[in-house]
A = this chain, B = another copy of it.
């Protein structure tokens, strides 16, 4: 039986192996993903993002408990793109999640590896496909940080939670543009801390001002949460379900959301693959090293070196 069939049939080892192969960018993983694709599209994907230290892992841990009590199966992907060199650290907080590891309804994996030239966003999307084909009801994708990587990753989610803590000061503005637009639900965690009113007010003001940007007519709610004491976690799940219902309510909204998700996914995949293919060839053939040496010796400038490499590799007029 092929690996895809084994995964659909519930073989956890096969799923774990495929996710590892995806993370390692093993080319054969692509064939398995093609076979799995018809079985995807049923899971509800929730992205959880925010700066380090805001308590995302604790929140995810509590969400798992609530979802399990409601009889839902859960897949978790913990994405740690902060480590381009060491292949990612196991985060202390995630150890806590291990208490779910004996529960057959919960499947937790980390994505950490990134190739020399990116690929984490794409690997994460493929891993979501695997958990989806396994039949998980909910897939929680937790990222570290608030950069472009994280924004790209959460764009494959159906609902995106942005987690903040009180006291971020003026720089909450820095989060504004990129994050407001991908956030469907805002969580102010550690809500017993000083400055919570200001953080909520700042958020509310920005949401009100940006009415035109509401994704598909949804106004993002702001929730006060203390994940460590399980306060506000139930409400978080309620808001996710409301958001899901909002998307499903209109066929126009539903198809627009699906269009965006599939388009972003395809674009990312092409981008990722093309960079991977070109660099594999450039490194193997030694051409990258040769060009680099010419630039180091100041025999050519890097812009010209780049032009030469590109024109050799891209087929022109392929339209």
Residues of A within 8 A of B (CB): 30, 33-34, 37-38, 51-54, 80-86, 88-89, 91-93, 114, 116-118, 120, 144-151, 167-179, 181, 213, 258-259, 262-263, 265-267, 269-271, 273-275, 277-279, 281-282, 284-285, 287-288, 291-292, 295-296, 298, 301-307, 309-310, 312-315, 318-319
Q: A53-B169, A274-B275, A304-B34 known; A82 and B314 CB under 8 Å?
A: no
| A83–B80 CA distance with the chains assembled, in angstroms | 21
CB pair B266–A295 under 8 Å, yes or no, is: yes
| A63–B158 CA distance with the chains assembled, in angstroms | 43
Q: A145-B146, A281-B319 known; A296 and B259 CB under 8 Å?
A: yes
CB pair B174–A303 under 8 Å, yes or no, is: no
CB closest chain-B residue, reference A170:
B92
CB pair B292–A33 under 8 Å, yes or no, is: no
Interface of A is mostly: helix
| A120–B92 CA distance with the chains assembled, in angstroms | 32
Q: A295-B266, A310-B274, A319-B285 known; A177 and B117 CB under 8 Å?
A: no
CB pair B83–A114 under 8 Å, yes or no, is: no
Q: Collect the chain B residues with CB atoms within 8 Å of residue A312's CB.
A: 315, 318
From B51, B298, B306, contact of A266 by CB (8 A): B306
| A266–B309 CA distance with the chains assembled, in angstroms | 11
CB pair B52–A93 under 8 Å, yes or no, is: no
Kindly provide the distance from the CB of A148 to the nearest chain B CB, expressed in whole angstroms: 5
CB pair B92–A173 under 8 Å, yes or no, is: yes
| A213–B279 CA distance with the chains assembled, in angstroms | 26
CB pair B285–A267 under 8 Å, yes or no, is: no
| A83–B267 CA distance with the chains assembled, in angstroms | 18
Q: Collect the chain B residues with CB atoms within 8 Å of residue A319's CB.
A: 281, 284-285, 287
CB closest chain-B residue, reference A56:
B171
CB pair B315–A266 under 8 Å, yes or no, is: no
CB closest chain-B residue, reference A121:
B148
CB pair B114–A148 under 8 Å, yes or no, is: yes
Q: Select the residue from A267, A287, A296 with max chain B CB neighbours within 10 A.
A: A267
Q: A287-B319, A296-B258 known; A93 and B171 CB under 8 Å?
A: yes
